Amino acid sequence: MVQWSRSEGEVRTTTLDASNPSNSDSVERPLADSSFGLQLSDFAAFGEFAAAGLAATTAALERAGLSYGQSRVPIAGAAVYMAPAGELTTLAVGNNGRIPAPPGQCESPDPDGKGYPTDHGETATIRQITDVAAVDWNRVVFTTSLNPCIMCNRTLTHLWTLGLNKIVVADVSTFEGTVDTLKALEGMTVVELDNPIDAEWMTTFARTYPWDWSADIGLIPPSDMRLVQALPKDVALQAALIDAVAAALPELETYGAGVVTPDKKVAGAALDQRDSHGGNPTFSAAMMAMGRAGSAVNLRESVLVLLVKESGSVLDVAGFGSSSRGACELFRPGTLLTNASIGPDLRAVLSEAGVPVVEREDTRSSSNSAR
């Protein structure tokens, strides 16, 4: 039986000397089994980056174990950069934000403590990298503790377009995720592990908290579809929802998004903030709005409202954001209502995901125009 005690307290950052990997065995470890049974040779597929793979995976599993110890979702990620001289730098470590962190330990943009459900292990990690464009992704190993879902796959695939080509999946078997499509990316090396400690956390969590685990992957059926069903034929309702989200986003410049629940409340809204984060896809507006809506909201019975500044502007997949795309594919909002014109590529993605689209010209902004 695999056990892991966190009675010793805080997570320790591991620094490994890549020029002398055997040093990893001499690092003082407060937990007897905190190496998680990992060996440098597990990451031989990464060649000179094997030490970065070991460091990233150790950091991700430490964080997953901490999350497990807090009765939160035990899924975490870590990104470790290796300099040409071999020095390792941990760029970010993050964990699933569905279940809020204990007070004072909140790392997610979740000041209300209502959970941030678009923070999965991977996206929580990437969200902490304030400027993804400044990172030499070709020298980074990214570890996720669990086989990635479609939202995290889209986000990691975005990083692949920036040069990421080394990923570790520490527990590839407990969840049937999307690792195969990551492996198919040109130039990508994926190390797949079946870490027994990690798998034990995940299976124990899923058995103990089945609702939270199902919600985390968008599998809770909707129970109140009144708003979603009324919306397509009710233009006054469409206008009201657009106005409500617009009121929550007074500084709209490019695009913004809001989640409206069946009781017609705006549960979360966000402006697109990719421009100030080097294009970081986890700062795309819909991704953030779905996170800010909180974990109690079932997106499948809610309306995701997308607003563009100029009513009728085209919003395509790139404009929408790869993480927002993946979040829609995973959580499947009941309807997407927008004052934009949805581009054919995004329309195809949403159709495939089963998300109906309602386009409505925004009379507020068109009345402001010169026509």
Which residues are paired to 337 by β-bridges?
305, 358
Piece in contact with Zn ion (CB under 5 A), picked from 65-73, 119-127, 248-256, 274-282 = 119-127
Stretch binding Zn ion (CB under 5 A), from 36-44, 50-58, 117-125, 276-284: 117-125
- The site for Zn ion, by CB under 5 A, has a size of 4
Residues 201 and 361: their CA atoms lie apart, in Å, by: 48
Q: Which residues pair with 76 in a beta bridge?
A: 95
Expressed in angstroms, the distance from the first to the final Cα of the chain is 72
Annotate each residue in 151-190 with x if it binds Zn ion (CB under 5 A) or - if it does not, as one string.
xx--------------------------------------
> Which residues, 6 or more positions from 213, have their beta carbon under 8 angstroms from its beta carbon?
73, 205, 206
**Residue 170 near residue 122, CB atoms below 8 Å:** no
Considering only residues 237 to 256 of the shown chain, the ones binding Zn ion according to CB under 5 A are: none
145 versus 339: smaller Cβ distance to Zn ion: 145
- With respect to Zn ion, which residue has the nearer C-beta, 149 or 179? 149
Strands 357-359 and 303-308: unpaired
**Distance from C-alpha of 299 to C-alpha of 287, rounded to nearest angstrom:** 12
User: In the bound complex, what is the minimum distance in angstroms from residue 17's beta carbon to Zn ion?
Assistant: 32
Residue 120 within binding range of Zn ion, rule CB under 5 A: yes
Cα separation, 290 vs 301, whole angstroms: 13
CB of 101 or CB of 149, closer to Zn ion:
149
State the minimum distance, in angstroms, from the CB of residue 155 to Zn ion. Answer: 8
Q: Which residue's CB is nearer to Zn ion, number 149 or number 317?
A: 149
The answer to whether 149 contacts Zn ion (rule: CB under 5 A) is yes
Q: How far apart are CA 16 and CA 22, in angstroms?
A: 9
- Nearest in space to 192 (alpha carbons), one of 360, 46, 69: 46
- Cβ-based nearer residue to Zn ion, 323 or 338: 323
Write down the least CB distance from residue 175 to Zn ion, Å: 9
Residues near Zn ion, by CB under 5 A:
120, 149, 151-152
